[in-house]
Amino acid sequence: MPVLPDSTLPEAPAAGPAHPEQLLSDVASLPPLPGVYRYFDLDGAVLYVGKAINLKKRVSSYFQKNHGATRIGHMVSKIVRLETTVVRSEAEALLLENNLIKTLNPKYNILFRDDKSYPYLKMTGASSSSNPGSSFPRVAYYRGAVEKKHHYFGPYPSAWAVKETILLIQKVFHLRTCEDPMFNNRTRPCLLYQIKRCSAPCVGHISGADYAQDVAHAERFLRGDARQVMQALEARMMAHAERLEFEQAAELRNQVLALSNVLHQQSVDNVADRDVDILAVKVQGGRACVNLAMVRGGRHLGDRPYFPAHVEEATGIYNADDFEEAVDDSAAAPPVPSVETQVLEAFVAQHYLNVPVPPTLIVSAPVNKNLLKTLSVQSGVKVTAVHQPRAQRRVWLEMAQTNAGLQLARLLSEEGSQQARTRALADALDLALDDLDTLRVECFDISHTAGEATQASCVVFAHHKMQNAEYRRYNINDITAGDDYAAMRQVLLRRYGKLAETLREAQQTGQLPKGTGRLPDLVLVDGGKGQVSMAREVFELLGLDLSLIVGVEKGEGRKVGLEELVFADGRDKVYLGKDSAALMLVAQIRDEAHRFAITGMRAKRAKVRVDGGKLEEIPGIGPKRRSKLLQRFGGVRGVALAGAEDIATVAGISRELAEEIYRALH
């Protein structure tokens, strides 16, 4: 199997690594069928996920050859277990492989993370229901699962692109954007009608037939038939003029002018492409950026950068099933694809599993034809890739390449400054670390409103960035309202209690159970001596190292940049300096903990105050008492307007519980 050479790694002995007999037996018994394979290390972590047209031939090649000191050689030396899944076709293998890559996060695969769904422009479908608004479709920004009864246009690269398109639809076709409740209760036109952004169907200023025609024109415009729409509008304008209906003709004239301006501004009047994605890849400094630009309906809607993980680890291991099995054993191996091609193919395979794929991809690096063929089978759309485009397509690709380079330069700059901050913090606090990349900081903050809806947050900083997936919120109960010290005690006990017990048992047995977490290198608490003293008590109780605890005490006048660090192990307070990179990192982590805590607290408070279904969250209120309260007062609004004395008159509600309900709703 062809691999990328890696001259930075030392030479390995000629003999290959010793593997468990069970693993070699599993490899020998594999069938010559298409499928997906997974490699695991001694700790059970997934090393690599790959697909093969012939599982037996593909997997055996890993263990029959001496890969030397390449990255693939280092990976093979760690393999202790193998899992495979047989599928019916290459298309199924591609789908399963990339779903597993996203789910398992293997170290030696290029991984693209996309936690955000794409936004769409939604055109609600007309229906014959009793709802008046259903007869006049509206345009709206939408993100989520699609429904067949509505029409969706996109996806768009950003919310801004959707909102700009909605503004164009309002300017040219005067379609409504209001929700049905507002539409059904209007008695006179709103401001959008006055500024020529809506035709006011809510009060009958336009007939249903004319509005339906505007909707049809808007949909054709969104699909790229702008020229045909303009011709239809001009024909209608002339017909009204011939019938001496000059007001209607003037309205259509204004629509034609508005549409003409849009076509001129968007430069789409001479573009043949309707739906195209432009993919440009840039690789530098061990990182990569794929810039995706979207053209929909002939209009360039903007772009979005993607930064894959594990590029350095994965570029030495290329899943070359198609290349390897396309030639017989005696033939020379085909050239190894460039890193740019590997990154681009990984993006195409992973990205278009979950979003619609346009028929044309304009790419900055060649893409394997078998991948495109498989993608066509999977999506039901014949997909072609253009590597060296001309004319307008070339302009689009050059724009995408420029943006990819700029975005990657920005990322490298940010990562460099963040690593410098991490190093400054480690030096300032004299943290003994073998590897700066392993520094882990956990920060705690308490948030409440006058003791109500108390929550504690824990945010995690590791690998030079905030780890959002590891954030946690803790509901604080059974403490005196507003007692921040008790809240801090509770959250620290809950966070580290079980871990401390596991570590003590491991010291006695000499064996650490699998899956056991690790203590952070630094525990930040948002507060001064009082909070640090409470944290010290908890750590003494749990038998943990006090030197881990550092409090962030606000400076004089609570001004940013004047914070001082307070230590639990008796060291003197430290002021790092307003321009200190270490203090910048501490402030960044502290502010993130505060943001995470206060958003959780507000959400919890809003559930009790606003959501009628959440009355049961008030201690002492179950389904029966909730039902009695709603029956007596006609809903949560009525309960909120009632005084404690009135609430206490409900059967089963004591005076104390009535006062608790009143406090919760106010």
What is the pLDDT confidence band of residue 323, given thresholds at 50, 70 and 90?
A: very low
Confidence of residue 333 (pLDDT cuts 50, 70, 90): low
Q: Are 389 and 509 part of one and the same domain? A: no
Q: Which residue has the higher pLDDT, 303 or 332?
A: 303
Q: Which residues are 441's β-sheet partners?
A: 461, 522
Please report, for the domain that includes residue 515, its CATH number.
3.30.420.340
φ, ψ of residue 555 in degrees (nearest 5): -85, -170
Same domain, 568 and 617: no
What is the pLDDT, as a whole number, of residue 319?
44
Confidence check: pLDDT of 520 > 80: yes
Higher pLDDT, 38 or 644: 38
- pTM confidence score: 0.64
The stretch 347-366 carries a mean pLDDT of 87
Residue 4 in domain: no
**Is the per-residue pLDDT at 320 higher than 50?**
no
The total domain count for the chain is: 5
Q: Is the pLDDT of residue 237 over 60?
A: yes
Average pLDDT for residues 577-601, to the nearest whole number?
Answer: 85
Average pLDDT over residues 305-310: 88
Whether the pLDDT of residue 612 is over 60: the answer is no
pLDDT band at 290 (very low <50, low <70, confident <90, very high): very high
For residue 81, is pLDDT > 80? Answer: yes
Same domain, 593 and 445: yes
CATH code of the domain containing 82 = 3.40.1440.10
With a cut of 70, say whether residue 293 has pLDDT above it.
Answer: yes
Does 556 have pLDDT greater than 80?
A: no
Residues 153 and 27 in one domain: no
H-type helices in 331-390, by residue range?
Answer: 339-351, 369-379
* Same-domain check for residues 461 and 356: no
* Range with lowest mean pLDDT among 244-253, 317-326, 655-664: 317-326
Q: Is the pLDDT of residue 285 over 70?
A: yes
Q: Is 383 left (phi over 0), alpha (psi -120 to 50) or beta?
A: beta
pLDDT attached to residue 10: 38
Strand residues in 261-354 grouped as ranges (E): 276-284, 287-296, 299-306
Alpha helices (H) in 65-158, listed in sequence order = 71-78, 90-104
631 is in which domain, residue-wise? 610-665
Confidence band of 404 (pLDDT split at 50, 70, 90)? very high
267 falls in which pLDDT band (50, 70, 90)?
Answer: very low
Domain membership flag for residue 240 = yes
Residue 558, classified by CB atoms within 10 Å of its CB into exposed (0-12), middle (13-18) or buried (19+), is exposed
574 lies in a domain?
yes
Q: Which of 606, 627, 642 is the last residue of a domain?
A: 606
Q: Which residues pair with 276 in a beta bridge?
A: 295, 360
224 and 124, same structural domain?
A: yes
Q: Which of 135-149, 193-207, 249-263, 558-572 has maximum average pLDDT?
A: 193-207
Residue 418, domain member (yes or no): no
Same domain, 545 and 591: yes
